[in-house]
Structure 1
């Protein structure tokens, strides 16, 4: 971990408090062998956690179960699983199974997805996502903890139980709006952010979630050709400038598009950018490294250096 400082929301500008920010690695593998290799590099670099998303690549729940059995001494997390894709009872059983198999290292990152994905890709009506999430947690949390639940709602009804020994996994909620941030702070361990810069973390996310943990996903590209890196990123990540929830975060940060969230340049430049996230109130920084092998190798070197300083 890297030791840093951040200003408390309850302090004046001169009042600072020490805190340790954890450095993690975000990966979206399509092959299990590649996931194992990357997770082992992250572990060897002393990183806190290895995150996988639920996208069109390898399934994160299966991937992390395998990785966790093969690679010790590093946390594992989904960033994130959409609640609409899985019954709460099924997700609870999967999560407890992974946590059991990996010695209590699993964090379930949960989210509400986005209207275009749900309606256009899956034909699922997008309606009252906050209410839906409240009801989903009403079913999920008792199953994760007590392993039984009886709840009836507009969106989620569960009267069931599971039997999977071992500790309950950690859970975090992807949240950007005020109501979802408050829900994350009240009922989960914290929030996972993306396309959310340090200004927005300090002014919106931290006040909204209170003392809950903030795991900030940050796009990184270590390069001496920043202009080209930003141009490629603008195309690769353009969807995030079009989805309303991410667009709102970009607007709060005062930037035009996803390419402006990229930390690009040499290692010292990227380090300085990561330290801004730490100073803003992030407890964990998940590096989402873009670019060729040289950028990835340099990012691992940087992450290892930052971990060694803590």
Structure 2
């Protein structure tokens, strides 16, 4: 199983010691480095800035939000970063949720799967540079219909370093996971648990079985963000993760639409997820955090003494996950690398 470093998106400002941690990840032999975006820092600028200090590690976005940019703009960025990195770029895309899509970007959210199909098709056309880019879809028209009538189908001026750049899709629901297997080169799960492996394996198999699917289990990447904390006290380690889980389960989405909440409900924690959401949305964030049991954290994380983590890692190695994405500073990465070795 490979290791990656997920620096994520910024909170109030750039994370302290980011460059040192990135260099440490590369020195330790980590396979990949990933950035993210929400509604603050973007994913592409930090990846280019910090990635320029690396020479080997893959540079990925986890994720670029599709509603933030047109597919041709993302194709341009992908080609540019692929050239600048010497062919190390991986494009991770995601639909995000209606709160961000409609509230921050002012774009419609309905039918995200169909929109994703069109989006990725256009990105692949841009990168391949075989013909002028066209699309006559429900969401995208290239050239635009009903405009001045002067629009022209174009090819990018830049020739690609690679005619295919790996595209991974962030997905939590079974239909979106199946879509990733059908049209992408990898899947970026969040809050994965070995206990849910059968559920996700079935969704991936459905996608691989569809006509025209690009990959199979043998050459498909699954890079999962997994909290790993080496600590003699399991409860103390769990306390470091609880606030983030409370935010995602309780506050990252509306009461009626929260995909993160749904993940834990499917995992068997429906009552916990409901309680956390109710408390969080009512403004009781401390109580919401305290309501998360350690068992839930252990199902989706690797925490505790190094021996415990090594023992539990065996279950992860039997799943569809091929890469574990870690967070933390340089010292954290060293301790985790030692624990997992």
Give the alignment's TM-score, normalised by structure 2.
0.75
Question: Aligned match of 2:318 in 264, 275, 279?
Answer: 279
1:43 paired with 2:43, answer no
Offset of residue 206 of structure 1: 2.2
Residues 66-113 of structure 1, C-alpha deviation per residue, up to 9 Å, x if partnerless?
233221111111101111011000000001100110011110100110
- Is the 8 Å Cα contact of residues 89 and 158 (structure 1) preserved in structure 2? no
Match of 1:136 in 2: 119
Offset of residue 219 of structure 1: 1.4
Unaligned runs of 5+ in 1: 1-20
* Alpha-carbon separation, structure 2, partners of 1:299 and 1:176: 26
- Is the 8 Å Cα contact of residues 61 and 91 (structure 2) preserved in structure 1? yes
> Structure 1 stretches (4+) deviating beyond 6 angstroms?
none
- Is the 8 Å Cα contact of residues 59 and 88 (structure 2) preserved in structure 1? yes
* Alpha-carbon separation, structure 2, partners of 1:174 and 1:156: 21
Rg larger in structure:
2
Higher relative contact order (CA 8 A, sep 6+): 1
Count of residues paired in the alignment: 281
Question: Aligned match of 2:138 in 151, 154, 170?
Answer: 154
Superposed counterparts of 1:1-310, under 5 Å? 21-28=1-8, 30-31=13-14, 34-56=17-39, 58-146=41-129, 148-159=132-143, 160-165=154-159, 166-167=161-162, 168-200=164-196, 202-210=197-205, 211=217, 212-242=220-250, 243=253, 244-255=258-269, 256=272, 260=297, 261-289=300-328, 297-303=331-337, 306=340
Task: Give the secondary-structure state (helix, strand or coil) at the position aligned to 2:34.
Answer: strand
- Is the 8 Å Cα contact of residues 233 and 305 (structure 2) preserved in structure 1? no
Deviates more, 1:237-246 or 1:41-50: 237-246
Unaligned runs of 5+ in 2: 144-153, 206-216, 274-291
Offset of residue 33 of structure 1: 7.9
* Alpha-carbon separation, structure 1, partners of 2:15 and 2:157: 28
Offset of residue 36 of structure 1: 2.3
- Is the 8 Å Cα contact of residues 194 and 316 (structure 2) preserved in structure 1? yes
Match of 1:15 in 2: none
- Is the 8 Å Cα contact of residues 48 and 75 (structure 1) preserved in structure 2? yes
- Is the 8 Å Cα contact of residues 307 and 339 (structure 2) preserved in structure 1? no
- Is the 8 Å Cα contact of residues 46 and 304 (structure 1) preserved in structure 2? no
Give the alignment's TM-score, normalised by structure 1.
0.82
Task: Give the secondary-structure state (helix, strand or coil) at the position aligned to 2:232.
Answer: coil
* Alpha-carbon separation, structure 2, partners of 1:164 and 1:126: 32
Alpha-carbon RMSD across the aligned residues, in angstroms, is: 2.4
More strand, by proportion: 1
